[in-house]
A and B are shown apart, each in its own frame.
Chain A
Amino acid sequence: MTENVGQRFDRLPATPDERTVEGRATRAEVVGYFEERFGITPETFDGYTFWEKGAGKIWVYAGEAPSPVELEALGMTCLRTRQEHWKPTTDAVQRFGRAATRNVIDLSREEARRFAAGEDQELDWDGDWGYLIAAHEIGVGPEGRPGRDGASAERRSADRSSEQSPREDAVERGQREPLGVGLYLHGELRSMVPKGRQRDL
């Protein structure tokens, strides 16, 4: 077994059998983590490769590169491994977290505001403790239903005036949007939004 080289991107092995670096996560484990913890299906990551640079720092990439490769960044950081509880990044959760079906805590607008500002808050949650995806409903139009992607303004106003819209069912899940990663412990949701990403909204 060899060691992780800090300045280099190495593609994750597909499975433990192909692992050559001690302690390195496999693609199967990474995809499995997102599925098991958040219900994000493995197909979500078809077309992406996973890489390690820095101990336990996992990157998700859609482009081409040989392995190993030395450069500054490859896609985006998505996960911290090599610690007891794996932790996804805020940016990756904003990017892929819409597909989550488990361990998503829905926040009110005021709670979301505090979360985005980096504040911890006491909240009820009867699910698993640990890292959660914090989300809120946003982009819900003045009529109390979501604005539609891809429909023109004329089409939307036509939809509003008609009693029954053919696309009504397609938006029943609403416009839930992931905010980032929270750590839930002992009745408290801690915001994991990094300093540079925190905003007063």
Chain B
Amino acid sequence: MEPLERYRPIVDDFEAFLEACRRPLGIAVRVNTIEASVERATAVLEEEGVAYERVGWNPRVLRLDTDSPGATWASFHGFTHTQEEVSAVPPVVLDPRPGERVWDACAAPGGKATQIAALMDDRGTVVANDNNLGRLSALRFNAERLGATSLAVTNRDARNYSLKPFGFDEFDRALVDAPCSCEGTIRKNPDALDDWSEGHVHSVAGIQKGILRRAIQATREGGTVVYSTCTFAPEENEAVVDHVLAEEDCRVVDVDVDLEHSPGVTEWDGEAYDPSVEKAIRIYPHQNDTGGFFVAKLEVTAP
């Protein structure tokens, strides 16, 4: 927990934050509406005797009272997908519509890409990319299990991504759920902070900036780009958004999600960021008893 000490100045009720980070995380699943409605999925869980609780902010996310959410009929039929509750936030903020062209720049293992497909009623084009071939096989497995037919899967570096293989040259929306230092996953993975170093935070921030810049460039004017990480480090969050605001044509817009959260920070470690980064949201583990997440919503503007 030591690396988290640096966040004492920016986290309200820091002791509650640390306490929550020490508690293991409960199991959550997302209902895969490509295969079943929420009513049908919950009817199957009820019949199986698996207790669940609906989360308040999203009717498609359930907290399950089981240690093996994959060993249920609901999961076997692809009605449910095990996914951390806060991981379901970025696709909801992205708000994709049926028929659109959407890019998921760092898509493996596919929880968010398949959620995007489901939000689009599996109609349209979801380009799910990842640079890691091993993780890509997990994405393909999940996509097929969940019956997503609107996914096109690519294996490239997102920072210089080319749309050339497709018959179109811009996306309507893009999600950059960036590789990060993963501090917010400590409840799920107690080893998450073992390799933490400030050097790593800075080097991954460079990659994040490159991917987010490319996502803005590849999205049409008026389109939406969502940037998210599962970490608390401002260097990987607000600083990345601040950088992209300076380099690309875009602006930060409000995030509308019914979960308790804190605003983006505008100052960190002697640096001041563009005041609009305050519109981003920080979700801390003690606020909703979840993992930690950062989500910023950007609108692409005219050059």
Contacts of B76 on A, CB cut-off 8 Å?
116, 179, 197, 199, 201
A147-B46 CB under 8 A given contacts A47-B123, A138-B73: yes
> Which residue of B is nearest A193, CB measured?
B76
> Which residue of A is nearest B137, CB measured?
A72
Picked from A61, A70, A94, A196, the residue with its CB within 8 Å of the CB of B165 is A70
A81 within 8 A of B: no
- A61 CB to nearest chain B CB (Å): 6
Picked from B47, B72, B147, B148, the residue with its CB within 8 Å of the CB of A94 is B147
Complex contact A201–B43 (CB within 8 A):
no
A75 within 8 A of B: yes
Contacts of A177 on B, CB cut-off 8 Å?
77
Report the separation of the CA atoms of residues A141 and B73 in the bound assembly, to the nearest whole angstrom: 15
A64-B43 CB under 8 A given contacts A76-B148, A94-B78: no
Which B98-118 residues sit within 8 Å CB-CB of chain A?
A: 101
Chain A 20-55 interface mask (CB, 8 Å, partner B; 1/0)? 000000000000000000000000000110000000
Which A59-83 residues sit within 8 Å CB-CB of chain B?
A: 60-66, 69-77
Complex contact A71–B153 (CB within 8 A):
yes
Q: Which of A125-133, A148-156, A160-168, A181-189 contacts B (4 or more CB under 8 A)?
A: A148-156
Report the separation of the CA atoms of residues A23 and B118 in the bound assembly, to the nearest whole angstrom: 35
Picked from B71, B73, B149, the residue with its CB within 8 Å of the CB of A95 is B149
Contacts of A141 on B, CB cut-off 8 Å?
43, 46-47
Complex contact B153–A76 (CB within 8 A):
no
A146 within 8 A of B: yes
Report the separation of the CA atoms of residues A60 and B155 in the bound assembly, to the nearest whole angstrom: 20
Which B122-160 residues sit within 8 Å CB-CB of chain A?
A: 122-126, 136, 140-141, 143-145, 147-155
Complex contact A77–B155 (CB within 8 A):
no
Chain B 45-79 interface mask (CB, 8 Å, partner A; 1/0)? 01100000000000000000000001111011110
Interface size class of A (residues with CB under 8 A): 35 or more
Which A104-161 residues sit within 8 Å CB-CB of chain B?
A: 116, 138-142, 146-151
- B199 CB to nearest chain A CB (Å): 32
- B90 CB to nearest chain A CB (Å): 20
Complex contact B143–A138 (CB within 8 A):
no
B167 within 8 A of A: yes
Contacts of B72 on A, CB cut-off 8 Å?
201
Interface centre among B44, B152, B155 (most CB of A within 10 A): B152
Residue positions of B touching A, CB distance < 8 A? 34-35, 37, 39-40, 42-44, 46-47, 70-73, 75-78, 101, 122-126, 136, 140-141, 143-145, 147-155, 165-168
Residue positions of A touching B, CB distance < 8 A? 47-48, 60-66, 69-77, 89, 91, 94-95, 116, 138-142, 146-151, 175, 177, 179, 196-197, 199-201
Interchain residue pairs with CB less than 8 A apart (19) = A61-B152, A62-B123, A65-B125, A65-B167, A69-B165, A71-B165, A72-B136, A75-B149, A75-B150, A77-B144, A94-B77, A138-B44, A139-B47, A140-B47, A147-B43, A151-B39, A177-B77, A196-B141, A199-B71
Task: Identify the 10 closest CB pairs spanning chains A and B, nearest first.
Answer: A147-B43, A63-B125, A95-B147, A73-B153, A139-B43, A72-B153, A75-B149, A149-B37, A91-B144, A62-B149
